[in-house]
Homo-oligomer: A and B are copies of this chain.
């Protein structure tokens, strides 16, 4: 079963506002096996609300509209729903009497504006609102059912739980897992799993971010999840570093801890972000010694022991300097692993030979020095975050090898 949500309210389009009603409904619907396939935010404009609703009912089994049911002039949802579904709006005398009684009991005036809350499209069924004055309503459209709820979060939740959730039953929720890949581009992962996109009863999505590539699996049952997860796991092998809430820094930290090893960092272009990522994990003091941010060349030489000749001969962005940074910081800070990073984060400073995005990484340890050179896409921020991911992944693969 598929649903679309429409949240109404000019203020929802303001900067910094979150549409928390739709987030809450998405979660509750997914628990009942109803998949939200579209969400819209629309301002308090009757025609636009009607336009969104008209197109949503043509696509989904259920449409839930939230907000714009109150008594003020900019509350236009009732009228918009009636217009979109081509139904007359009618006042329900029973509801009007009930509202009048509620208001009078509290000593509030009950005027024509309040009375509008007793209007509903012909054929609609009220959804009782025990904690507020605007009731919701349910109405059948051609091909879809439309539920209309007030936008006040507490009222929306009460009405949903009391009147709508029972209609959806306790269907088994879709089962979901995210598998996480580092050190491989999105296209590489795509080639390995693309035949699964056409899976009949589930969904496989590949998503790329600065922390790596994610493969999201969504199926109907736990058994199906096990099957598709083991297929993907087998195909991706060690390129998979974790799942769901795992982070690359967390997984790498656990490997260090399990092997009783420590690490130290010497960073040029990432300038502390690698150390920051490693220590994002609580308890990282057990495996992280510290680091040097060697931005100026003098610091690479004087504080880490990179040779001036190496800098002059190969340039600051070179495999040789990455190697000397890694070995140098390992020695100075007394750790089992040393990581060196040097690269060109841009936006300026690139050349034809050494373009923006070129990053050299080295991981030094007793068995020797592992190296990786990458040419990373993106702006300054993305290049630096991707360089951190590449460095953590190189360390992780060294730790897997030494297991």
| Interface residue ranges, A against B (CB under 8 Å) | 10-11, 13-16, 18, 23, 26-27, 30, 36-45, 47-48, 51-52, 54-55, 58-59, 70-74, 106, 108-109, 113-114, 131-132, 152, 154, 158, 185-187, 190, 194, 197, 203, 205-208, 216, 265, 267, 270-276, 278-280, 282-285, 288-296, 298-299, 303, 332-334, 346-348, 375, 377-382, 384
Contact = CB atoms under 8 A, between A and B. Distances in A.
Nearest to A38: B42
Contacts of A73: 190, 194, 197
Contact of A197 (B71, B74, B158): B74
Given A43-B38, A73-B197, A205 B15 contact: yes
Contact of A276 (B55, B208, B273): B273
A296 B292 contact: no
**Copies of the polypeptide in the assembly:** 2
Given A38-B52, A113-B190, A272-B274, 12 more contacts: A15-B23, A18-B18, A38-B42, A52-B55, A72-B187, A73-B197, A271-B276, A272-B279, A272-B291, A288-B296, A296-B333, A303-B333
A42 B52 contact: no
Contact of A72 (B71, B190, B334): B190
Contacts of A348: 282-283
A256 to B, nearest CB: 13
Contact of A282 (B187, B276, B346): B346
A276 B276 contact: yes
Given A272-B293, A285-B295, A26 B18 contact: no
A215 to B, nearest CB: 11
A41 B267 CA distance: 39
A205 B11 contact: yes
